[in-house]
Amino acid sequence: PPPHPAPPAPYTNAESSAASDVYKRQEHDLAAVETALQRLSDGTYWADEVTGEPIPEHVLTADPTARRA
């Protein structure tokens, strides 16, 4: 029979840190999408959450999760 492959090497601190950073960014992005969906449901998606002024379409096109103009 063929020899068994060696077990994978443990992650280095840099690899663990990078993976943690990716996970944190994904959590942040998901929270931003959930907030945008709630704002859409509430009818406040198109308004700046601080001033109440309309958020220009080009801003929301560039970043659909934008909450400020």
Query: Could you read off the pLDDT of 32-67 as tens digits, one per residue?
Result: 999 999 999 999 999 999 999 999 999 999 999 999
Alpha helices in the chain (DSSP H): 13-42, 57-62
Q: Name the pLDDT band for 1 (thresholds 50, 70, 90).
A: low
For the cut 80, the answer to whether the pLDDT of residue 9 exceeds it is no
What per-residue confidence (pLDDT) applies to 15? 79
Burial of residue 2, with CB atoms counted within 10 A of its CB: 0-12 exposed, 13-18 middle, 19 or more buried: exposed
Query: What is the pTM (predicted TM-score) of this model?
Result: 0.71
Nearest to 60 by CA among 39, 45, 44, 50: 45
